[in-house]
Amino acid sequence: MQFLADEENNIVLQKLKRNKPITPLDISELERIFFESGDFGTKEDFENAYGKQTNLGLFIRNLVGLDRQEAKRAFNDFLDGQKYNSNQIEFVNMVVNYLTKNGVMDAALLYQPPYINYSSNGLSGVFTDHEAANIVEILESIKLNAAA
């Protein structure tokens, strides 16, 4: 984490933090800063310590999280122009909090505690099918931006 904090101004790390799509070239840059820095040793050393990562962008996004304003912005269109009750707004705020800390979110988590505190059916009990599908699409879009 200290290494990532020291490199926080790196453009690729900024893209990850700010939910901007990254490219295969960006992944190459991440590999360069990780494995040429000497802080993590070789790629093999890294994989021994952290496991084989299928996507370095997602791994790092999970470590650095998502900028809170960007997480909120991802839900702007969803929330704009609609009237939601306090439980629905709090539900979305919990999702934003999760994304801020963890960077990406598997939609399956929306059917587990603490999300089932709002309805035993989780996401599907709080929102209509169409609204729930929109939330899942937003989460997938956020994930794809880090996946290159």
82 and 58 part of one domain: no
Task: State how many domains the chain has.
Answer: 2
Q: Which burial class, exposed, middle or buried, applies to 86 when counting CB atoms under 10 A from its CB (0-12, 13-18, 19+)? A: exposed
Binning pLDDT at 50, 70 and 90, where does residue 39 land?
Answer: low
pTM across the whole model: 0.88
53 and 72 part of one domain: no
The rounded percent of the chain whose pLDDT value lies above 90 is: 69
55 and 43 part of one domain: yes
Q: Which of 20-24, 39-43, 123-127 has the lowest mean pLDDT?
A: 39-43
Binning pLDDT at 50, 70 and 90, where does residue 8 land?
Answer: confident
What's residue 38's pLDDT? 65
| Chain centroid to CA 44 | 25
Helix runs in 24-128, H state only: 24-35, 43-50, 56-64, 68-74, 76-79, 86-102, 123-126
Q: Which of 17, 39, 64 is the last residue of a domain?
A: 64
pLDDT digits (tens, 9 = 90+) for 40-56: 667 777 777 777 777 88
Structural domain harbouring 44: 2-64
Q: Average pLDDT, whole number, for the chain?
A: 90
